[in-house]
């Protein structure tokens, strides 16, 4: 396999060879929702953090998940719940969630009350409470939550997490973020050597394999493509914004029609990688500060002006011609956010296409029609 193929491979399957090798060595894997969960603490405990996805579910049917999920639950949570009921996450040794929204919280309850069949073992389970605003009181609360996570991991797995372990983990994850930012910088070029589909796949790989292996592969890949350009029949440079998107095939369809995705504001994209953790601060304080102050999710009340300023600057820096907002059905926080983005983008003269979708990529005809019409509109600007 080429270096690129090794980086793209984890996005196409739930359990990749890196996870299998990790488990064969007797090491633990901890699943998590959301980039507000500090991977560094899990890594410092000797665990492999795994961003939970429903890759490979292959169907819109969630009959087992629907037993426990309301019909108004977003399909991302329903798909993950369904796969958990089918035993697809039996490779996990624990699950850490945050109080992101009602959908996430109820999904965690299903695990907490042991409705999920995990044969022959108990799971480490913890919910982290993240405030809905950013201030000094919130910072203290998040730091205490992270202290509790660290303490509970130590007690449950009989390990010791020292400050030196945390500093090493922060340094490792900062290197991951630095390399991913370097990858993103390539997309500023008129003819970038990577597509949006490839970049999303690579970011997914960062959350599904040991960081040491990922950093080595991405560093090799960046050396290979640093001086390259790739000519494409591009009709518009696009930014994709919205709910979690961990299926690169969505971006593949957009790019097959002539859109080139050069930027994003996704929780498993820019929000995950954009800013470094301050290595000069005490580790847990640095992680709490980063968690609260990195570019935020729409769940953070009162922080929309900063989010829009970030998106606006990205549009300028990456020469974006239009924005596609994509929202999972029943996602309340992104429903409001998408509306405000459309209003502000209109004032800035930036075309916006608003899409609502289910987690799994179903019939693509309507998606193709709407994207094609949008690209024609952008092209007439």
- The verdict on pTM exceeding 0.85 is yes
Inter-residue contact 267 to 75 (CB < 8 Å): no
State residue 121's pLDDT score. 64
pLDDT of residue 227: 83
pLDDT band at 381 (very low <50, low <70, confident <90, very high): low
Average pLDDT over residues 25-32: 94
User: What's the confidence (pLDDT) of residue 58?
Assistant: 62
In this predicted model, what pLDDT tens digit does every residue of 336-352 receive, in sequence order? 888 999 999 999 999 99
**Model confidence pLDDT, tens digit, residues 154-195:** 999 999 999 999 999 999 999 999 999 999 999 999 999 999
108 against 240, higher pLDDT: 240
pLDDT in tens, 255-272: 999 999 999 999 888 998
Euclidean distance between CA atoms 325 and 241, whole angstroms: 5
pLDDT, greater one: 20 or 379: 20
Could you tell me the strand order of the sheet in which 29-32 lies?
Answer: 48-51, 29-32, 94-98, 124-128
DSSP string covering 66-97: GGTS-TTS-HHHHHHHHHHHTTTTTT-SEEEE
**Domains defined along the chain, listed by start:** 3-164 (3.40.50.11890)
How confident is the model over 10-23, as a mean pLDDT? 91
**Mean pLDDT, the chain, integer:** 89
Reported as type and span, the H/E element at residue 152 is helix 136-157
């Amino acid at each position: 396999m080429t270096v690129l193929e090794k980086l793209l491979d984890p996005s196409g399957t739930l359990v990749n060879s890196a996870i299998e090798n990790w488990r064969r060595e007797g090491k633990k894997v901890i699943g998590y929702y959301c980039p507000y969960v500090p991977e560094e603490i899990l890594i410092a405990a000797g665990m492999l953090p795994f961003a939970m996805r429903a890759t490979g579910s292959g169907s819109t049917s969630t009959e087992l998940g629907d037993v426990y999920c309301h019909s108004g639950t977003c399909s991302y949570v329903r798909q993950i719940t369904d796969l958990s009921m089918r035993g697809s996450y039996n490779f996990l040794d624990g699950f850490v969630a945050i109080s992101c929204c009602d959908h996430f919280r109820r999904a965690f309850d299903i695990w907490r009350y042991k409705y999920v069949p995990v044969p022959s073992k108990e799971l480490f389970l913890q919910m982290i409470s993240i405030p809905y605003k950013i201030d000094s009181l919130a910072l203290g609360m998040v730091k205490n939550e992270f202290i509790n996570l660290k303490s509970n991991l130590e007690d449950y797995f009989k390990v010791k997490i020292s400050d030196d372990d945390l500093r090493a983990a922060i340094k490792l994850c900062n290197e991951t973020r630095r390399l991913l930012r370097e990858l993103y910088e390539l997309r500023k070029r008129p003819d970038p050597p990577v597509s949006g589909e490839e970049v999303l796949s690579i970011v997914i790989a960062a959350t599904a394999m040991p960081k040491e292996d990922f950093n080595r592969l991405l560093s090799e890949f960046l050396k290979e493509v640093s001086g390259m350009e790739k000519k494409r029949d591009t009709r518009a440079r696009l930014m994709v914004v919205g709910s979690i998107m961990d299926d690169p095939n969505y971006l593949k369809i957009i790019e097959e029609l002539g859109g080139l995705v050069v930027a994003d504001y996704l929780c498993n994209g820019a929000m995950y990688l954009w800013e470094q953790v301050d290595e000069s601060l005490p580790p847990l304080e640095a992680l709490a500060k980063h968690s609260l102050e990195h570019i935020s999710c729409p769940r953070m009340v009162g922080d929309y002006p900063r989010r829009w300023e970030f998106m606006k600057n990205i549009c300028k820096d990456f020469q974006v011609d239009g924005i596609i907002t994509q929202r999972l059905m029943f996602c309340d926080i992104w429903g409001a956010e998408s509306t405000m983005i459309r209003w502000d983008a209109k004032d800035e003269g930036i075309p916006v296409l608003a899409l609502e979708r289910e987690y799994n990529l179903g019939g693509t005809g309507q998606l193709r029609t709407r994207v094609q019409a949008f690209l024609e509109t952008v092209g007439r600007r």
